[in-house]
Amino acid sequence: MDKQYQLDDLITLKKPHPCGSVQWKVVRLGAEIGLECLKCKHRVLLSRRELARKMKGQPIHTESTTGENPCQS
C-alpha cells in the first residue's frame, strides 16, 4: 500500500545527509517526491519507491499556515 504524502510533511530518513540532518520537508509531489533538508536547504528528488525504502517511520503531517485552499477562488 502506498503512503500518502502532502506538501510540507516532515520526513525522517534512515541515513543522515552530509550536513548531519535526517529531517526533510516535502516540497514537490508527483511521480517523484521533492524533499528539502531542514538544516542546509538542499533539495533532492526521490521516486516514491525509493523514498518508501529510505524513510524511517511515518510522515508527520503539518497544517498549512494560511488555512486556505489555493484552488478556491
User: What is the extent of the structural domain holding 20?
Assistant: 10-54
| pLDDT value at 1 more than 60 | no
Distance separating alpha carbons of residues 51 and 34, to the nearest angstrom: 10
Q: What is the pLDDT of residue 28?
A: 93
| pLDDT band of 2, cuts 50, 70, 90 | low
Q: How many domains would you assign to the chain?
A: 1
**Is 31 within the bounds of a domain?**
yes
Model-level pTM?
A: 0.76
**Is 38 within the bounds of a domain?**
yes
Would you say 21 and 38 are in contact if contact means Cβ atoms under 8 Å apart?
Answer: yes
Would you say 40 and 21 are in contact if contact means Cβ atoms under 8 Å apart?
Answer: yes
Using one digit for the tens of pLDDT, what is the confidence trace for 16-32?
989 999 999 999 999 99
| pLDDT value at 47 more than 70 | yes
